[in-house]
Amino acid sequence: MKKYLPLLLLVLLFSLGAVNYKNGSAITTTTDFVGTASTKSHVIGIAITEACLDADDDFTGDNGSEPSSVLWTASDGCTIMDIQSNKLHFGEAGTRACSASVTSKWTFPANSNFDIQVDFDVTTLDAPDSGQNQIAYFRVSNAAVNPYIFVARYRSTTVNGYTSYGSASGGSEYAQADASGKLRFVMSGCPGSCVLKFYNWYDSQWEWNGSTDGRTCTEDFSSDAVVVRISFAKEATVGSTTIDANDIRSE
């Protein structure tokens, strides 16, 4: 009978389900092994590594609390980013220029497919002074931050709309003053022939500047794991910037 004990213990562990560490707490969920990070990632038992963290976060929390330290590394030099009304909130007014960001502790493996998007709301995005921007951007990069590509809802002195910039792809921008929306990155064709595209959600479809093909990036992420960052910046010394990230999720 003793020789069957390890097997019985293993069956018991699996029957208890998997642990999904989201917002720093453990909840029971269905078993899903981490492979190529194209779906939600969970880990069996109680052990956890950064590669096994869940890429989804709805930013649920008490008003004034910090984003999950399990899922994110936060940087907030002005102390103006926190959870408000179950959203990741950034708000700054007046003469001070400020920025804040969260960078994922979870990663997408090199040379693998992924599909990641974030929802946002804009309350105020005032025109900046000359040469400055008010911006909320969604970025993918390797851990060394190069290569990188970001897509953003922003306002400059001339454009109230969307912009993007990549270390290899260069820049693109167009006017479209959405009060809410979604930003999305899709990596497909991996392994071997990876193609990264990004989109924003407009008129009930994914597009970029009117094209449902989105915009294709030329950055090469085939050799390094990919991290994700949500950043806010009020570069101007005039006006107000108030933007919320509502939800980030991996399809």
Predicted confidence at residue 55, as pLDDT, reads: 84
CA 87 to chain centre: 13
Within the chain, strands assigned E span 18-22, 25-29, 43-44, 72-76, 81-84, 87-93, 98-104, 114-125, 134-142, 148-155, 160-166, 170-175, 180-188, 195-202, 205-207, 215-216, 226-234, 240-250
- Percent of the chain at pLDDT > 90 equals 61
pLDDT tens digit string along 93-103? 878 888 999 99
Question: Which residues pair with residue 66 across a beta bridge?
Answer: none
pTM of the model: 0.78
C-alpha separations of 127 from 48, 176, 226 in Å: 44, 14, 33
> Residue 213 has what DSSP assignment?
T
25-29 and 148-155: which strand pairing?
unpaired
pLDDT of residue 53: 65
**Domains recognised in the chain with CATH numbers:** 2-52 (no CATH), 72-250 (2.60.120.200)
Residue 240: the pLDDT is 85
How far the first Cα of the chain sits from its last, in Å, is: 45
Question: What pLDDT, in 10s, does the model give residues 36-89?
Answer: 333 333 222 222 234 446 789 999 999 999 999 999 999 997 888 999 999 999
Do residues 74 and 90 touch, judged by C-beta distance below 8 A? no
State which residues of the chain have pLDDT below 50.
1-52
Dihedral angle of Cα 198, 200, 205, 211, to the nearest 10 degrees: -60
151: number of CA atoms within 13 Å, CB side? Answer: 25
pLDDT of 42: 27
Phi/psi-derived region of residue 249, left when phi > 0, alpha when psi is between -120 and 50, beta in every other case: beta
